Structure 1
């Protein structure tokens, strides 16, 4: 249990280290905390904090820096809520004032915005697409044997794929399949449509065209693409600014992790209502242990949860990051109501 003076000193050390990234000495603290005590008293209190594992000595100076336990104590007990600045609120307003054609466009812009305002690497995962339905499917002749297939879903998502017309197959024959698909599958959930491709649908189509298998495979791939989980990353190169001792192999492993939707859902998924802070060794994935991951979940009714996260150094300004995530989450939920 810390005394009030120890809490003030720990808070000052963390604030100073977040701001300047340098070890903090007793003389600097004496100025920062503005308490009627001597430098010797400050040193004694710092020794007490070090004994409790909340600060530690830096090898290159006589000052102290926060430990992981110190940051955790700060986030849990010392951090006060922070109002975003007028400039930050204006930036959020500008980000969400434009109209987005697709959910993906919105989340791309959100990650860019958070990366720009924080200087860190940002992540967004969109809500599950369990109830998204097939709205339409069509073929567009491009040139000669080249065809563009276009699929549209009920949430405004589109998927397209170009292919060459199979030898011995006419565009008219494929249009018969497209007509069948639009009659039988439009309005049905995409996951249900995918299941039907391995059921009776191919048998029915064989009465219409001799060999629909290749085209149905293309159609199935497009359906899968439309509901495939994606990770949206902003400021991926910002990692280089707050990575110090890691070699290129570690950086490559980090990028591969960030690009893995399933793993990122697992890592970020522990964030419930509010903002969840994982500091250093608290991260479950070994690759993330040199960093802090601050995340939040947003919910769209009938469509489950999506996630937003900010990856940065352990000495990130946690109060600022938590405020940004809270405000962006609220703006994202309001905007996504238009899509779902």
Structure 2
């Protein structure tokens, strides 16, 4: 159990290191601590913290930097989120109050705004669409051998894909497929459609002369609408915190943040309202020098999504935690308003 003075020294080291990025020595700490403490006493306390594994020497410097254990102790026991300033909150509300035609635009804008406000990489995960329903389905001819499959959901999402038709498939057969799908699954929650299609597969296959191609394409389009969508902004900010010039590492990290499923897996299955994962707590050794702060948001219709910041381990945690708390509340409020207006 750390003493009050040791807690204060650890907090000061972490906050100072986040500001200047340099090891912190006893003389510097003596200037910053709110009480009068001799350099010798500070050095003794730093020795205790180092022995406990919360701080460590970097190279041959006499100063100390936080360890990953020190950051974890700080997050769990010391940090206090900084309340967001009124002007910053007003800016969030102004940007999110824009007119959006669909949910994806709101989620993408949230990632862009969050990245701009932090200079870190921001990731927004769209909520799972478990209650979203299929509102419309069409096949639009593009010539003699191709059609565009278009699927519209009740949240304004439009998914489409071009399909090359098997030889021998004619317009009247396609019209029969459209009628069957509209009759059986339009108005149904997306998560229930696959099972319903399987029940009607013999009829569909009869209309399509045994070809599974169109059904498979419909499944693919449906899956895109059901699964979480990921919006990333500020990828280039990752370059500011690389500890080396390993190009392959850069490529791998870029690939990681571009793939929503992989990034979502890093955050674990049991997500707190606001969570912090540091360095080796992330399920990828590429991110040993990074931290992720994530926050749930709720859309008032389909459940919960996630916004996250990927930045260096020496980020300003109190500031970012305060921002994430306010941001998730404002995003939840905006999405709830969107769905109320959409459903009216």
* TM-score when normalising by structure 1: 0.89
Q: Paired residue for 2:162?
A: 162
- In structure 2, runs of 5+ residues without a counterpart are none
Bigger shift: residues 5-14 or 106-115: 5-14
Matches within 5 A, 1:134-213: 134-142=134-142, 146-164=146-164, 166-199=166-199, 201-206=200-205, 208=207, 210-211=209-210, 213=212
Q: Paired residue for 1:336?
A: 335
Q: Paired residue for 2:19?
A: 19
Matches within 5 A, 1:260-339: 260-270=259-269, 272-300=271-299, 303-337=302-336, 338-339=338-339
Alpha-carbon RMSD across the aligned residues, in angstroms, is 2.5
Task: Give the distance between the partners of 2:223 and 2:269, measured in 1 at CA.
Answer: 26
3-state SS of paired residue (2:339): coil
Using the TM superposition, give the Cα deviation of residue 20 of structure 1 relative to its aligned residue in structure 2, in angstroms.
Answer: 0.7
3-state SS of paired residue (1:24): coil
CA shift in 2, pair 1:229/1:130, >3 Å: same
Using the TM superposition, give the Cα deviation of residue 225 of structure 1 relative to its aligned residue in structure 2, in angstroms.
Answer: 2.1
CA shift in 2, pair 1:196/1:37, >3 Å: closer
Contact kept in structure 2, 1:268 and 1:307, CA below 8 Å: no
Number of aligned pairs? Answer: 339
Using the TM superposition, give the Cα deviation of residue 171 of structure 1 relative to its aligned residue in structure 2, in angstroms.
Answer: 3.5
**2:95 is aligned with 1:85:** no
Using the TM superposition, give the Cα deviation of residue 226 of structure 1 relative to its aligned residue in structure 2, in angstroms.
Answer: 1.7
3-state SS of paired residue (2:92): helix
3-state SS of paired residue (1:37): coil
Task: Give the distance between the partners of 1:35 and 1:126, measured in 2 at CA.
Answer: 47
Matches within 5 A, 1:87-166: 87-142=87-142, 146-164=146-164, 166=166
Q: Paired residue for 1:227?
A: 226
- In structure 1, runs of 5+ residues without a counterpart are none
Bigger shift: residues 164-173 or 10-19: 164-173
**2:248 is aligned with 1:249:** yes
CA displacement 1:285-310 (0-9 Å, x = unmatched) = 33332211111223445634322211
Q: Paired residue for 2:38?
A: 38
Q: Paired residue for 1:216?
A: 215
CA displacement 1:7-29 (0-9 Å, x = unmatched) = 22222211111101011122222
Q: Paired residue for 2:68?
A: 68
Task: Give the distance between the partners of 1:58 and 1:214, measured in 2 at CA.
Answer: 60
Using the TM superposition, give the Cα deviation of residue 98 of structure 1 relative to its aligned residue in structure 2, in angstroms.
Answer: 0.9
Using the TM superposition, give the Cα deviation of residue 202 of structure 1 relative to its aligned residue in structure 2, in angstroms.
Answer: 3.0
